[in-house]
Structure 1
Amino acid sequence: MDLLEAIRKRRSVREYTGEPVDDAVLRELIEAAVQAPSAINQQPWTFVVIKDADRLAQISRKAKSHLLKASLSEPAHSFREMLNDPDFDIFYHAPALVVIAAADPTDWAVEDCALAAENLMLAAYAMDLGTCWIGFAQNWLATPEGKAELGIPATYAPIAPIVVGHPRRPPPPVPRKNPDILWIDAQTHCA
């Protein structure tokens, strides 16, 4: 698959079939993730893979409860009804969750892990898999209880919880805004 095609067509998937994702495929996605650039080549990431549906459902419930107890910002306030729905699964019943965590608290660990996440998501799309970065999970996973649930040390920082699975249907295209570009060249003069 052409890289630019993958960049233009990859979308967040929120409907998955029940088909599991093979461990070898998940390993291949992680191998793609670690090809991402990282500041000073520190490669601060570690990967936690959860494929247990009961565990994922438990994490979903705990993350929803945590979000509802936290003071939601005004834009997130609209999610309150969804988060209160006991049938709403923040992981959309995907068969796998890959959490990219910063193992080393470097100055650019968040950016490095986000670059690895993008590589993983693009590689998944190229393999006809769907992904979605689950922002609803981030705050709870960063708590001591969340880290313990993942079995990671207290000093690690979970950055990117990404679900992976077989899409039930392709998500519709999403319009993109035209980029706002400020060109600075030899002819540009700043006051």
Structure 2
Amino acid sequence: MDLTDAIYGRRATRAYTAAPVPKEVLERLVDAAIQAPSAVNEQPWDFTIIQNTQLLDRISTAAKAHMTATVPNVSFPEHLHESLESPDFHVFYHAPVLITISARMGAWAVENATLAAENLMLAAHAQGLGSCWIGFAQRWLETAEGKRALGVPDNFVPVAPIIIGHSAASAAPVPRRPPQLRWIG
């Protein structure tokens, strides 16, 4: 797949089939992720790959409760609060895989993990897989309990919880607003 096609074609996927993703494919996605640049070439990444649906269900429930308890109602639209309060809503959309990218704590931990995450999501798209960064899980995974659930070392911070799987439906392109450009010189 051409890089431009990957960039313009990748979409956040929120509907998945139950088909498993082979271990070899997941390893290729992680290998693509670690090709990302990192500050001072530190390469501070740690990857947790969860395919256990019971654990994903437990994390979904805990993340929903954490978001409901800690995020002010004005932080995001009402329909998202309704989703969090629904017992039927699963923050991982029943995707078969969660890959959480953590980074060693430091000045550029978020940036380092985010660069790796974009590589991973583009590589997933190139493999014919869907992906989505799950912000609803992010804050709970940063807690001590969340880090324990992932087995993340104390000196690392979970940054990018990304679900992976076979898309159940094609996601339509989302119109983009024109960029605000400032030309100097």
TM range (shorter): over 0.9
In 1: Cα distance, 2:46 partner to 2:176 partner: 32
Superposed, which structure 2 residues align to 1:46-125 within 5 Å?
Answer: 46-76=46-76, 78=78, 79-102=80-103, 104-125=104-125
Give the TM-score of the pair, scaled to structure 1: 0.94
Residue in 1 that maps onto 2:34: 34
Runs of 4+ off more than 3 Å: none
The offset of 1:170, in angstroms, is 1.1
TM-score (norm 2): 0.97
Note if 1:140 corresponds to 2:156: no
Cα deviation, residue 178, structure 1: 0.9
* Separation in 2, partners of 1:13, 1:71: 24
Measure the CA separation in 2 of the matches of 1:168 and 1:122: 18
Aligned-partner SS, 1:140? helix
Corresponding residue of 2:127? 127
Letter in structure 2 aligned against 1:137? A
Determine which structure has more spread, i.e. the larger CA radius of gyration: 1
Aligned length: 184
The one-letter amino acid of 2:137's match is A
Deviates more, 1:73-82 or 1:114-123: 73-82
Aligned 8 A contact 1:44 1:106 in 2: no
* Structure 2: gaps of 5 or more residues: none
Give 1:80 deviation, angstroms. 1.6
Match in the other structure for 1:4: 4
Does the 8 Å CA contact 2:73/2:81 hold for their aligned counterparts?
no
Pairwise CA RMSD? 1.0
Structure 1, unmatched stretches of 5+, are: 186-191
Quick one: distance in 2 between partners of 1:73 and 1:101?
Answer: 28
